[in-house]
Amino acid sequence: MKSVLLVIALLLPVAAQAQDDGKERDYCPERPGIGMPACTMAPGRLSVETALADWTLEKQGGDRTDTILFGDTMARFGVTDTVELRLEWTPVGIVRDRSGGAIERATRVGDVTLGAKVNLAHPDGSKLSFALQPYVTLPVGRMPVGAGDWGAGLVAPLTYDLNDSINLELTPEIDAAVDQDGHGRHLAYSGVAGINLALSKQVTLALENQVIRDDDPAGATTQDRAGLSLAWKARDDLQFDAGGVAGISGGAPVAELYIGLSRRF
């Protein structure tokens, strides 16, 4: 956790040297999809991005786990031309486990994630844009929705405009992920590669693939997932989205479906 805060402290003075050109940026939400854009919010602008509902299905042998999150929300606030502060919280989640003939259900509050994104080139996300995003997760929730302990990580999103209609993305990440039993941390790392296709000025389609290596003491896994999402920008400051993720191999969740919206203030 101290190392994450140190990275933020070191990067903030460098990023603050950039000057805002005064031009209103196009709204650049992080929703939907698996990966993340490199853009940051302009100074003084706030983005609130919410998963209205997010359902994930996991299966192992004859066992089944359904997880439904409601209102999982990210707030992003621009503090300089290239730096934004971030807060994410899951207000409620429902987990239903079916093992054999027994069914267990739990309704819990999720954890809080704090972080910052520091853009190092083109904070509006145009051309070749890349950023660093350190974060820390605070265990304010309860298992099985909350992780049970604190975690931390670093994301380094990179995007490139191939032309006016095609945007390429890479999102590598390294984490001190919480152990499955909720005590202690282990190494996990992942990478997302994707392509965003502008079908019109308002509609964007995203195709993504993610590979995750998780060295949990309970059993290391290498998961492969594929995602498809659609975003509709109803207004300059308002976007609706829907998407799905399918597990390909490595014990990844079988499926995930979600709908959400993003609003800039």
Q: What is the DSSP letter of 250?
A: T
The predicted-structure confidence for 163-195, as pLDDT tens digits, reads as follows 999 999 999 999 999 999 999 999 999 999 999
Q: What's the pLDDT at 83?
A: 98
The predicted-structure confidence for 43-98, as pLDDT tens digits, reads as follows 999 999 999 999 999 998 889 999 999 999 999 999 999 999 999 999 999 999 99
Q: What's the pLDDT at 14?
A: 42
A 10 A CB-CB count for 58 gives: 17
Mean residue pLDDT across the chain: 91
In a 3-state reduction of DSSP, which class is residue 6?
helix
Question: Which of 160, 139, 82, 165 has the alpha carbon at shortest distance from 116?
Answer: 82
Structural domain including 96 reads 2-17+26-264
Q: What is the DSSP letter of 184?
A: S
Do residues 31 and 262 touch, judged by C-beta distance below 8 A?
Answer: yes
CA distance 229 to 34: 9
Tokens encoding 239: 């976007």
pTM for this entry: 0.86
Specify the number of domains making up the chain. 1
The predicted-structure confidence for 9-24, as pLDDT tens digits, reads as follows 444 444 444 444 456 8
Average confidence (pLDDT) over 233-247: 97
Residue ranges in the chain assigned as alpha helix (H): 2-15
Interstrand relation of 166-178 and 102-108 (parallel, antiparallel or unpaired): unpaired
Q: Distance between alpha carbon 5 and the CA centroid of its chain, in Å?
A: 19
Q: Is the pLDDT of residue 7 over 70?
A: no
Q: What is the CATH number of the domain that holds 259?
A: 2.40.160.40
